[in-house]
Amino acid sequence: MVIRVAGIADKMAKNQKQIAISEFFEKNKHFLGFDSLQRSIITAVKEAVDNSLDACEEARILPDIKVKITKIDSKKDILELQTEDNGPGIPQKSIEKVFGQLLFGSRFHAIRQSRGQQGIGITGVVMYSQLTTGKPTHVLSKVANDPTAVSVNIGLDTRKNKAVKSEQTRIIWENDDLTMKEHGLRVTTRMKAKYQRGRQSVFQYLRMTSIVNPHAEITFTDPDGETYHWPRVTERLPSKVDAIKPHPHGIELGQLQRMCRESSDSRMTVFLRQNFSGVSMRAAKELCEAAELEITMKPKSLKPDDVRALLEAFQGEREVNGKAIKLLSPPTNCLSPIEEMLIKKGLSKTIDSKFVATMTRAPTVSHGNPFQVEVGLIFGEGMVADKHVEVLRFANRVPLMYQQGGCLLTKAIESVDWRQYGLEQAGGKGVPKGPAAILVHLASTNVQFTSEAKEALSDNEFVFEETRRAMLEMGRGLRKHLEKKKKMAKTREKFELINDILPAIAEKSASILERPIPDLAGSITKIMSAVICNESTTWNKETKQVDVSITLFNYTSRARSYSLLVNWPEKSGGEMVGNERGGRKEAMGIWGWKIETLEPGEKAVVEYSLSNLEKGDWTETEVFFRGSQDVIGATKLDEKMLVEIRKQEEILNQSDVPSGDNGETSENNEDGVAYEPGVVEGDSGQTTLFGGEN
């Protein structure tokens, strides 16, 4: 019996084989988003377009992307996908690794914001194409220095996770106008897939991509031959991101063990400062003291218990003199947010509406990983009012098309009671209804998805709270817009009615009594009994500037005195010109004027222009006031919030100068802000003029 069991064990051992990563994904293609014919074509387009955008941005080239889908065999559901870009191209020797080897890429070990990370995407497309049609993927690549382009067919040996090349040659690649293409990449692949229309479609993916990539020109030709074009609305490329070092709060035990084992540093203090962000000389010494390690020890010599003790010091479980060790925040130059103005332009070019509000929250940290939340809300005309609002989710500028209900970003939207902000919401839960679209974008060095297909974000309390706060801010902005619109409509109706009826009555009465027509200004003032503010923000085609005009009417029986303040795009590079009234800067993006005393019936006009902007950058100006009497059409200034904005501005100004301990400059710090492990991360402390949090 014993001999028989031993024989079975030997037989089982002989049957065990190592499986290549490519063979694993070949048998589990649903992990990569190829789990249905409809989703497969979207996944393929997504991977190709993401790669094109990344390549263009790294080369500092404004992207020009073309996508074409052709039906090859309708009965067998065979489609051909062709994508083309004007990026830097791929050198001949690298093509087979990029397209024919899974887990090959340049971004996996770099801690920075990036669309792709694992090096799976485009190789997964090659694999799926080969799996469903048996055909290789054709690649045409032109590098600027080469006189010709390389043309090659790429397949994948899934057993060896290695590319299979065929028909490689070099050709002259001409553009549509028969001029030689300077540089770029074209990928042509056939696969078993179905093209569909609607919310989960290639069209919707490209539409969403154009919103958060307003610097990109995208052209799409669908299987029916219909062409769609999303033009570039800005010439400004996203800010370039730099890779940063890992932060102690985001380190796991195994990772720390490997780093110590592979280190060639001679001292622990050198190891801690050179390999981690946020660690000054003082902090390095305190970490060693907390972990009971000599600062002169070599990292290689650390025993397992020593490494564990160091990790506990990283996580704040060990203290020095009864206090947690303060570490600097990681740098935030690894993030590249879209920015408020460009989100607004992106939304406006795809959705026609009057009200657009956007916000970019200040960068913050979760478990040592910097992240930033951006939101946008568009409301009004031309949108369906009796259905759920359109939710546009993005992570590192990539649209999230599926699993909306299970996504962290959706949960944050659902956590807000939108009824108090003018949208319908059954029981104050779920996605609200109304003529609106809500955009939310997470920029992060470490986006946590629920699966390899990267369709939804997993739970994270810090990201959730940041997103919720941003949604509350958007909601307050929408409520103020609707209230202002309602008040102005009533006031305008009343004013127009008075101006129509009273003059007619006065003229008729004067003719009957044979007397001159009386001056009605005093009577109109008594009837209106309000101070009204009219604001106009328009694009001037001739000067290429935004002209802003604000008129303050005193339709009350008493003299009134006010200060007016406005928001303006200072952070986005806008410049205020033609401001004859002068005034002064109250805070970042806030300008104010002291208005002369207005007697009953008098008015005051404030006019200025905004330069260094493009059409659509600035379409509405928010007006605030200081004064005792309410102003219809303006918002009473919250002085406490103005003070908080000034404090936030001071912190940001101080963060421009790297700081260290005892006069030391910390090369790892961009923010200059220290925080403790025990302090809740994710609170950026950002405030605005719209009031406190709910």
What is the predicted pLDDT for the residue at 460? 85
pLDDT tens-digit map of 377-425: 888 766 777 888 888 898 888 888 888 888 999 999 988 888 888 888 8
pLDDT reported for residue 666: 38
- State the average pLDDT for the chain: 79
How many CA atoms does the CB half-sphere of 8 hold within 13 Å?
4
- Cα(555)–Cα(524) distance, integer angstroms: 8
Give the residue-averaged pLDDT of 226-232: 91
Q: Which fold has domain 21-230?
A: Heat Shock Protein 90 (3.30.565)
pLDDT band at 675 (very low <50, low <70, confident <90, very high): very low
Q: How far apart are CA 327 and CA 247, in angstroms?
A: 9
Fold for 522-637, please state it.
Answer: Immunoglobulin-like (2.60.40)
Looking at CATH, the fold of the domain delimited by 248-329+655-675 is given as Helicase, Ruva Protein; domain 3 (1.10.8)
Residue 271 has pLDDT above 70, yes or no: yes
The C-alpha atoms of residue 201 and residue 38 are separated, in whole angstroms, by 8
Strand partners, 587: 590
Gap between the Cα atoms of 231 and 219, Å rounded = 8
* Rounded average pLDDT over 27-43: 72
Domain edges within the chain = 21-230, 248-329+655-675, 340-480, 522-637
Of 460, 462, 443, nearest to 332 by C-alpha is 443
pLDDT at 549 over 60: yes
What's the pLDDT at 521?
Answer: 64
Which amino acid, one-letter code, is at 160? K
What is the rounded distance in angstroms from the CA atom of residue 609 to the CA atom of residue 240? 30
What is the distance between the alpha carbons of residues 407 and 398, in angstroms, rounded to a whole number?
14
Mean pLDDT confidence for 510-530: 74
- Look at 107 and 167; give whichever has higher pLDDT: 167
pLDDT at site 255: 82
Class of domain 340-480: alpha beta
Name residue, tokens 């051909």: 80
The mean per-residue pLDDT over the stretch 509-527 comes to 75
The H or E element containing residue 253 is helix 253-262
Predicted TM-score (pTM) of the model is: 0.68
CA dist 324 and 329 (Å) reads 15
Instruction: Kindly state the average pLDDT of the residues 290-294.
Output: 87
Among 21-30, 266-275, 311-320, 563-572, the least confident range: 21-30
- The model's confidence at residue 662, banded by pLDDT at 50, 70 and 90, is very low
Q: What is the pLDDT of residue 652?
A: 53
Average pLDDT over residues 532-536: 87
CA distances for 610 relative to 425, 543, 548, 575, 607, angstroms: 39, 10, 8, 5, 10
